[in-house]
């Protein structure tokens, strides 16, 4: 158990180092950090002095270590455009994105998994066919298009839902939440559906194909040959075995929801991290870009770790050593 967890943590660490390196290279080599900080009139000598004081003349590994050291203290530098600390901007934007992602992830899981099981067990039913066709539409349509269509129908034509923003938010310490007001909840409906739809269809199709695969296995056939009830075969045998691969991929998918929010947030002008990132790209605001990258990697790593641990408890082949 200990070695399993430790090796997973080490792997996560390697991923974080890799991503930090990318973020650091972005930060250091793309564009000139000095000219983004000072005006055009600044003299070369002053620039050089600034360069020295910021440690930009140190050897690369030293700079990288300093980058990591500062990142671990949530020091990410100063935004070129907004001239504010990146950490502050992130803290301000984070709640919006996390709330949206959480609601979407729940939607995706709570609808996607049961739908996947249903379509696998009832392959021939019309509802399965309908769900499958609908899911293909969900996979094929770009997220932004779904958002636009929803806006067109519910905001423009019927004018029943807001088309942009978070509505009223309540401040709970540093956290701003939209869960506590009617307008906040209303504003959440269309963005969360837009964001959830793609993941939902993906999860549904994944659960379905994995379950069909498992239903073909010998041990399912043998279970049927022993006269076990359909309920037991389908749920205690097939579903359990389906979960093993599904957990991993679903975890990865949910991890990507936060990053996927970029598009949804742009369409609905949702004041979260994604919108911030898009603005940063358009304005070549490198510190914001690289910080966002690190943040996403961290979320991914944490979710992955949770997934691995779950996996460990579901599959005895990992938990129990092979006997004689």
Partner 1 sequence: MSDTSPSTKAPGLFQRIWQSDMGYSFRSSKITVVAGIISALFVLAALFAPWVAPHDPYDLASISIMDAFLPPAWMEGGDARFLLGTDNIGRDVLSTIIHGSRISLGVGLASVFFAASIGITLGLISGYVGGRTDAFIMRVAEIQLSFPDILIALLIDGTIRSILGPGAHGNISFFVVIAAISLAYWVQFARTVRSTTMVEKNKEYIQAARVTGKGSLYIMFRHLLPNVMGPVLVIATIMLALAIVTEATLSFLGVGVPPTQPSLGTLIRIGNDFLFSGEWWITIFPGGALAIMGLSVNLLGDWLRDALNPKLR
Partner 2 sequence: MTDKPLLEVRNLRVEFPTREATLVAVDDISFHINAGEVLGVVGESGAGKSMTGAAIIGLIEPPGHIAGGEIIFDGQRIDNLSNTEIRKIRGRHIGAIFQDPLTSLNPLHTVGRQIIDTIITHLPLSQKQARTRALELLKEVGIPSAEERIDHYPHQFSGGMRQRVVIALALCADPKLIIADEPTTALDVSIQAQIINLLKGLCSQYDTAIMLVTHDMGVIAETADRVAVMYAGRIGEIGPVADIIQQPKLPYTVGLMGSIPAIGEDVERLTQIDGSMPRLNALPSGCRFHPRCPSAFAYCAIERPELIEAGNSQVACWLYDKEKGQGKSPAHGLQKTHTKAVSKTTTQPANTLLQVEGLKQYFDVSPPLLTRLLERTGRKYVHAVDGLDFTINRGETFGLVGESGCGKSTVARAIVGLYKATDGTICFDYVDDGGLDDKQRMQMIFQDPHASLNPRWRVREIVAEAIPAGTGSTKQKITARVGELLAQVGLAAEDARKYPHEFSGGQRQRISIARALAGEPEFLVCDEPTSALDVSVQAQILNLMVDLQRRMGLTYLFISHDLAVVNHISTKVGVMYLGRLVEWADTDTLFSNPQHPYTRMLLDSIPDLTNIGAKRSQVGGEVPSPINPPSGCTFHPRCPFATDRCKSEIPIASSVSGSSVACHAIEEKRLPDWKTS
Pick the closest to residue 198 from 140, 268, 154 (CA basis). 140
Please, are residues 248 and 304 in contact by the beta-carbon 8 Å criterion? Answer: no
DSSP string, 101-125: HHHHHHHHHHHHHHHHHHHHHTTTS
Q: Which of 29, 57, 221, 302 binds partner 2 (CB under 8 A)?
A: 221
Phi first, then psi, for residue 177 (nearest 5°) are -120, 145
Nearer to partner 1, 162 or 176 (CB): 162
Q: Which one of partner 1, partner 2, none interacts with residue 125, CB within 5 to 8 A by kind?
A: none
Pick the closest to residue 303 from 109, 138, 76 (CA basis). 109
Residues that bind partner 1 (CB under 8 A): 14-15, 18-19, 26, 30-31, 136-137, 139-145, 148-149, 151-152, 156, 163, 212, 216, 252, 255-256, 259-260, 262-263, 266, 277-278, 281-282, 284, 286, 289, 293, 296-297, 300-301, 304
Number of alpha helices (DSSP H) and beta strands (DSSP E) in the chain: 14, 2
Q: Provide, rounded to whole angstroms, the least separation between the CB of residue 116 and partner 2.
A: 19
Q: Which one of partner 2, partner 1, none interacts with residue 284, CB within 5 to 8 A by kind?
A: partner 1
Q: Which of 83, 217, 258, 262 binds partner 2 (CB under 8 A)?
A: 217
Q: Provide, rounded to whole angstroms, the least separation between the CB of residue 207 and partner 2.
A: 17
Alpha carbon 52 to its chain centroid, in Å, reads 38
Q: By CB under 8 A, is residue 6 in contact with partner 2?
A: yes
Phi first, then psi, for residue 176 (nearest 5°) are -110, 125
List the beta bridge partners of residue 176: 171
Q: Which of 64, 80, 237, 260 binds partner 2 (CB under 8 A)?
A: 237
List residues binding partner 2 (CB under 8 A): 2-3, 6-7, 10, 217-219, 221-230, 232, 236-237, 240-241, 244, 314-317, 320-324
């Amino acid at each position: 158990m200990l070695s399993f967890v430790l090796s997973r943590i080490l792997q996560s660490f390697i991923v974080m180092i890799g991503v930090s390196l990318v973020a650091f290279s972005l930060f250091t080599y793309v564009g000139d950090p000095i000219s983004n900080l000072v005006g055009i009139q600044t003299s070369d000598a002053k620039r050089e002095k600034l360069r020295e004081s910021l440690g930009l003349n140190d050897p690369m590994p030293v700079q990288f270590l300093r980058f990591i050291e500062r990142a671990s203290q949530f020091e990410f530098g100063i935004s070129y455009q907004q001239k504010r600390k990146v950490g502050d901007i992130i803290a301000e934007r984070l709640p919006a994105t996390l709330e949206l992602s959480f609601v979407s992830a729940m939607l995706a899981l709570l609808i996607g998994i049961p739908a996947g099981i249903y379509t696998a067990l009832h392959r021939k039913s019309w509802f399965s066919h309908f769900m499958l066709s609908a899911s293909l539409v969900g996979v094929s349509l770009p997220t932004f298009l779904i958002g636009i269509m929803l806006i067109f129908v519910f905001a423009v034509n019927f004018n029943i839902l807001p088309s942009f923003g978070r509505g009223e938010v309540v401040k709970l310490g540093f956290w701003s939440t939209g869960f506590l007001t009617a307008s906040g909840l209303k504003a959440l409906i269309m963005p969360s559906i837009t964001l959830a739809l793609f993941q939902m269809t993906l999860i549904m199709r994944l659960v379905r194909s994995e379950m069909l695969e498992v239903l073909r296995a010998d041990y399912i056939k043998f279970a049927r040959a022993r006269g076990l009830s359909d309920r037991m075969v389908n749920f205690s045998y097939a579903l359990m075995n389906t979960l093993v691969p599904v957990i991993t991929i679903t975890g990865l998918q949910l991890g990507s929801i936060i990053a996927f929010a970029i598009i949804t947030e742009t369409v609905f002008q949702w004041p979260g991290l994604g919108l911030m990132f898009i603005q940063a790209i358009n304005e070549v605001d490198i510190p914001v870009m690289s910080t966002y990258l690190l943040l996403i990697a961290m979320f991914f790593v944490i979710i992955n770790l949770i997934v691995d641990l779950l996996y460990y408890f579901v599959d005895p082949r990992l938990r129990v050593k092979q006997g004689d």
